[in-house]
Amino acid sequence: MQIQELNQMSRADAYATLLQCCAATRWVDAVLDLRPYSSVEGLLQAAKNCWSSMEEPDYLEAFDGHPKIGDPASLKAKYAATHTMASNEQASVQQANEKIIMDLASCNQAYEDKFGFIFIICATGKSADEMLSSIKARLVSNREKELQLAAMEQGKITSLRIDKLFN
């Protein structure tokens, strides 16, 4: 895709396209309101700026657009719209041994029980072991700090997904 294509799409089509990058509807609307973009870099900067103005409900909506790391059932069922991007991002988990997958599932449940949202990490380039270490380290955090950290990770994921749209 070229940036001009995004600029020329109907709002509904552009909305659906950007929703694949971040499931926070207020973020999508904010980014679309700034069209047209002269470059992908301009879009990326606008995406970051718009994300920085989001609040907890927006974060939680974005987080809800992700499958749990290591949960193939949620990849297939609930997240069909982002399945390809999310499964590629989590490719290392698909190759992990059963024990690591079970540990990830257990930690994911403990994380969600403690914080009220799923564990968010920019999984691209990380092994399943690295993600397991990260979730264990983050489980000792408090909710406020973890919400901010998860929001930062969401910002990274969104930028990577925008890059994928145009490359």
- For the domain that residue 137 is a member of, what is the CATH number? 1.10.3330.10
pLDDT at position 41 is 98
pLDDT at position 6 is 97
* Structure confidence at residue 159 as a pLDDT band (50, 70, 90): very high
**Does residue 132 lie in a domain region?**
yes
Instruction: Compute the distance between CA of residue 130 and CA of residue 27 in angstroms, rounded to an integer.
Output: 29
Residue from 53, 56, 46, 39 nearest 21 by CA: 46
Is the pLDDT at 154 greater than 50, yes or no? yes
**Does residue 29 lie in a domain region?**
no
**Does residue 11 lie in a domain region?**
no
Q: Which domain holds residue 88?
A: 67-143
Greater model confidence, 79 or 121: 121
pLDDT at position 78 is 39
At residue 82's C-alpha, the angle toward residues 78 and 85, to 5°, is 135
How many domains does the chain fold into?
1
**Does residue 33 lie in a domain region?**
no
* Structure confidence at residue 67 as a pLDDT band (50, 70, 90): confident
What is the pTM (predicted TM-score) of this model? 0.84
Query: Is the bond leading into 36 cis (omega within 30 degrees of zero)?
Result: yes
Residue from 87, 46, 45, 56 nearest 69 by CA: 87
What is the percentage of the chain residues whose pLDDT exceeds 90? 71
Question: Is residue 83 annotated as a catalytic residue, yes or no?
Answer: no
- Spot the catalytic one: 66, 126, 138, 161: 66
| pLDDT tens, position by position, 81-137 | 444 554 455 544 555 678 888 898 899 999 999 999 999 999 888 888 999 999 999
